[in-house]
Structure 1
Amino acid sequence: MFTAAARRRPLVRLVLMAMFCVLFLLSLTTLGPLYWMFTGALKTSNEIFQMPPTWWPLDPQWNNYPQAWSNLNYTLYFSNTVILTVGSVILQLFVSTTAAYALSKLKPVFGSVIFFLFLCTLMVPGIAYLIPQYLTVVDLPLLHLRLIDTWWAVWLPQSAHAFNIILLKGFFDDIPDDLVDAARIDGANAWQIFVRIMLPLAKPALAVVTIFTVVASWKDFLWPLLVLTRDEIQPLMVAIYRFSGLDSMQPLNTIIAGLALASIPPIVLFLVFQRSIVRGISLTGLKG
């Protein structure tokens, strides 16, 4: 944005400092709720409602976290969430990569029309096709299978997302066709080109799709609430909501501690793979 020589000018330094202050204040709006959640989990239920609020617990209740783990049966629901997330990631990567590869390099008939239809689905709010999607998993067309109260009811709807397909197609489009043609001359078929050439080159984009899918699946609430009614297969978000009801008699600080524990895996995942995420976003053109 600014050259090294321009950064030495007092006016440019002032502008950069102002931009830094604005970004810092905006970051506080994101970090503020996280700070309240993690510190609120250390407060008593009465202190949570205290006005004016306390910035740090007067008497930190560190046992709230292990108590939330045991009272909310976290081992079961955490395992369920991991299974749902891993299944969604595997299916999402398989469907998105193969669909993007087909549209980008195999050039199917009416490929431009299919791509346009993918774009159209992005304009429709997810809540608009909630009922048709629910009726589909109640009675799967052609096979007539009832997927309610099975993990497939969550995996299958999350196995395809137009945004990820479009993102990967844009990345595959940037791979030179000469590379694909050279592999065909050497005798490689379409599947070998996809596995040995396209996927290794698309690792940054695959990292972005993986992170997006993990976060979306981990925090998904409404759809699992509708299709997973049996207690033993519900994920964390649904279980915490159920335990927050009046009939569960769980104190508020325990519920907040449960929410804090549920938010740790996505935060750690982002911190570990943030360089891959930033690199993938820059290479796939998701700027601004």
Structure 2
Amino acid sequence: MSAFVTPTRTLISQAQLARPLGRTAYWTVFWVLIALFALAFLFPLYWMVSGGFKTPQQIIQTPPSLLPTSPAPGNFATAWRDMDLGRLILNTTLYAGGALVFQLVFDVAAAYALSKLRPVFGNGVLFAMLATLMIPTTVIVLPAYLTANDLPFTHWSLLNTPWAIWLPSVANAFNVFLLKRFFDSIPTELLAAAAIDGAGPLRTLWSVVLPMSRPILGVVSIFAVVGVWKDFLWPLLVLTDTSTQTVNVGINQLHVGVPENVFVAALAIASVPTIVFFLFFQRNIMAGLTAGAMKG
């Protein structure tokens, strides 16, 4: 006797989709919404890139034009040279890479401990970490700055050093939550089998858990890199030396006296590394975010 399977209920029933009028209306609405959402997300990017090709007069004209009448690709070379974008991007790459390494090491260890090792008061620690997500970033900027300027006990100053970017980025409660949610979906039987074979917790994490966690590690990598690359307020406070500034802070400091079209071209160049990084890991986004829903 076959089991009775209840069909999934949706806004539109299968009977309505089977009718030509219902099917046509459904796909029309579907593609219209897809086009509107794509336009809402891609148009600002197009506007920025096209603005880099415009002349100074065209970029400030009213009403604005969608296409550059006389494309000037030299604006990008001027922005790269005059605003020292090579150094700024190199600095930001260093900060983003270090933040990525530190987050993968410490956040993975914290999530693994909370998920599989089950320490005493682990749920309380997780609750306290998630509670920090409810605190606005601007509220903790001043205490964080005072701490970075004068570390407790050691009295070291982290200002104008990569540590001022790396250390605060490690305490990422959202990434810990994502990783723990994924680790919870890994069957306990796999860890028990590894323990029977003589693997300790660290060996189990390295040989069993991490190979299965590539999707969520890709998601965390995207969040770590993009979070550092787009941040402005914190680097503005702790990186006052022009030789250590990130690309966002450097462009903000150097854009005075620069034509608007060259400034927009610099913004377009600064966005390229994160777009490339996103495209490289884009397959892992949905896989990682939905993997925690799997049942072992």
Q: TM-score range by the shorter chain?
A: over 0.9
Question: What residue identity is the alignment partner of 1:223?
Answer: W
Deviation string 1:94-134 (CA, Å, 9 cap, x unpaired) is 11100000000111010010011112111111111111111
- 1:251 is aligned to 2:259: yes
Cα separation, 2, equivalents of 1:188 and 1:146: 41
- Shift in alpha-carbon separation, 1:7–1:273, aligned structure 2, 3 A: farther
In the TM superposition, what is the alpha-carbon distance from 1:80 to its structure 2 partner?
Answer: 0.3
Aligned to 2:170, what secondary structure does the other structure show? Answer: coil
| Aligned with 1:155 (options 161, 166, 180) | 166
Aligned to 1:185: 196
In the TM superposition, what are the counterparts of 1:33-182 in structure 2 within 5 Å? 33-182=44-193
Conserved? CA contact 1:243–1:255, under 8 Å:
no
Moved over 4 A (4+): 1-8
Cα separation, 2, equivalents of 1:28 and 1:119: 34
Question: What residue identity is the alignment partner of 1:205?
Answer: I
- Shift in alpha-carbon separation, 1:6–1:172, aligned structure 2, 3 A: farther
Cα separation, 1, equivalents of 2:16 and 2:194: 47
Question: What residue identity is the alignment partner of 2:272?
Answer: I
- 1:242 is aligned to 2:253: yes
In the TM superposition, what is the alpha-carbon distance from 1:181 to its structure 2 partner?
Answer: 1.4
In the TM superposition, what is the alpha-carbon distance from 1:284 to its structure 2 partner?
Answer: 3.4
Long gaps (5+) in structure 2: 1-9
In the TM superposition, what is the alpha-carbon distance from 1:276 to its structure 2 partner?
Answer: 1.9
Cα separation, 1, equivalents of 2:24 and 2:147: 58
Cα separation, 1, equivalents of 2:13 and 2:190: 36
Long gaps (5+) in structure 1: none
The CA RMSD measured in Å over matched residues stands at: 1.6
Deviation string 1:219-278 (CA, Å, 9 cap, x unpaired) is 111101100011111110001101123xxx211111100000011111122223221222
Question: What residue identity is the alignment partner of 1:239?
Answer: G
| Aligned with 1:222 (options 225, 233, 255) | 233
After alignment, is 5-14 or 71-80 more displaced?
5-14
In the TM superposition, what is the alpha-carbon distance from 1:6 to its structure 2 partner?
Answer: 6.6
Cα separation, 2, equivalents of 1:92 and 1:214: 10
Cα separation, 2, equivalents of 1:177 and 1:56: 58
Aligned to 2:271: 263
Cα separation, 2, equivalents of 1:5 and 1:269: 43
Cα separation, 2, equivalents of 1:3 and 1:97: 43
